């Protein structure tokens, strides 16, 4: 099987890459669905790393709020409050 045929067997799990705002803002992460696994691709600059997670090996998926989500909520709340106070006067 050549590379083009291998690429066609994957479906995009997410519509766009997720940018990591940690040490390097240029890292992107993507997920692709295979027939029996999920492919995680991390790209930064000219390098790309991939890892397969087989469905039979996945025991749990955990979703949690991050500290950055808290700060984004605080900032947006403060902006909303400021806008309401300016319009109210």
- Return the half-sphere exposure (C-beta side, CA atoms, 13 A cut-off) of residue 4: 0
- Percent of the chain with pLDDT strictly greater than 90: 17
Handedness of CA 56, 57, 63, 69 (dihedral sign): negative
Q: How confident is the model at residue 69 (pLDDT cuts 50, 70, 90)?
A: confident
Give the residue carrying structure tokens 């806008």: 83
DSSP 89: -
pLDDT digits (tens, 9 = 90+) for 9-45: 766 665 455 555 445 567 778 888 888 888 888 888 7
Whole-prediction pTM: 0.52
């Amino acid at each position: 099987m050549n590379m083009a045929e291998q690429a066609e067997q994957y479906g995009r799990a997410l519509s766009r890459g997720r940018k990591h705002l940690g040490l390097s803002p240029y890292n992107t992460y993507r997920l692709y669905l295979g027939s029996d696994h999920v492919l995680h691709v991390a790209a930064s600059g000219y390098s790309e790393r991939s890892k397969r997670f087989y469905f039979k090996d996945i025991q749990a998926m955990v979703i949690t709020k991050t500290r950055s989500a808290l700060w984004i909520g605080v900032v947006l709340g403060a902006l909303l409050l400021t806008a309401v106070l300016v319009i109210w006067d």
